[in-house]
Amino acid sequence: MQADLIFRNARLIDGTGSAAQTGDLAVSGVRIVAMGALPDWRGGREIDCGGQVLAPGFIDPHVHNDLAVLTDPGMDSVVSQGVTSIINGNCGFSIAPLRTGDALPDPMGMLFGKTPPVFARFADYRARLESEPPAVNSACLIGHGTLRVNEVGDLARAADAAETKAMAASLDQALSDGGIGLSTGPFYPPARASSTDELIAMARITQSHGRLYVTHMRDEGDRVIEALEETLEIGRSACCGVHVSHHKCAGLANFGMSETTLGMIDRARTEQTVGLDTTPWTASSTMLNSGRHRQASKVLIAESLPHPECAGRDLAEIAAEWGTDIDTALERLLPATGIFFIMDEADVQRILSYEHTMICSDGIAGGSHPHPRVWGTFSRVLGHYVRDVGLFTLEEAVRRMTSLPADWFGLDGRGRLEVGAFADLVLFDPDTIREGATYQTPVRPALGIQCVFVNGREVWNGQGATGNRPGSFLIGA
Q: Which residues bind Zn ion (CB under 5 A)?
A: 91, 216
Q: Are 53 and 395 in contact (CB under 8 A)?
A: no
Among residues 94 and 455, whose Cβ is nearest to Zn ion?
Answer: 94
Least spacing, CB of residue 183 vs Zn ion, in Å:
9
DSSP 131-157: HS--SSEEEEPEEHHHHHHHH-S-TTS
Among residues 91 and 454, whose Cβ is nearest to Zn ion?
Answer: 91
Among residues 209 and 216, whose Cβ is nearest to Zn ion?
Answer: 216
Among residues 91 and 374, whose Cβ is nearest to Zn ion?
Answer: 91
Among residues 188 and 453, whose Cβ is nearest to Zn ion?
Answer: 188
Least spacing, CB of residue 86 vs Zn ion, in Å:
15
Torsion angle of the four alpha carbons 348, 352, 354, 358, in this order, in degrees rounded to the nearest 10: 130
Among residues 143 and 476, whose Cβ is nearest to Zn ion?
Answer: 143
Least spacing, CB of residue 245 vs Zn ion, in Å:
5
Q: Are 379 and 448 in contact (CB under 8 A)?
A: yes
DSSP 288-320: GGGSGGGT-SEEEEEEESS-GGGTT-BHHHHHH
Among residues 25 and 95, whose Cβ is nearest to Zn ion?
Answer: 95
Nearest 5°: the CA angle 232, 235, 236 is: 90
Least spacing, CB of residue 220 vs Zn ion, in Å:
9
Least spacing, CB of residue 13 vs Zn ion, in Å:
29
Cis peptide before 186 (omega within 30 of 0): no
The helix-helix angle for 224-238 and 196-208 (nearest 10°) equals 40
Q: CA dist 467 to 20, 56, 135, Å?
A: 31, 21, 8
Least spacing, CB of residue 45 vs Zn ion, in Å:
40
What are the b/e assignments for 93-114, b being 16+ CB within 10 Å? Answer: bbbbbbeebeebebbbebbbee
> By CB neighbour count within 10 A (0-12 exposed, 13-18 middle, 19+ buried), where does 299 fall?
buried
Least spacing, CB of residue 91 vs Zn ion, in Å:
3
Among residues 85 and 284, whose Cβ is nearest to Zn ion?
Answer: 284
Of 452, 456, 473, the closest CA to residue 422 belongs to 456
Least spacing, CB of residue 94 vs Zn ion, in Å:
13
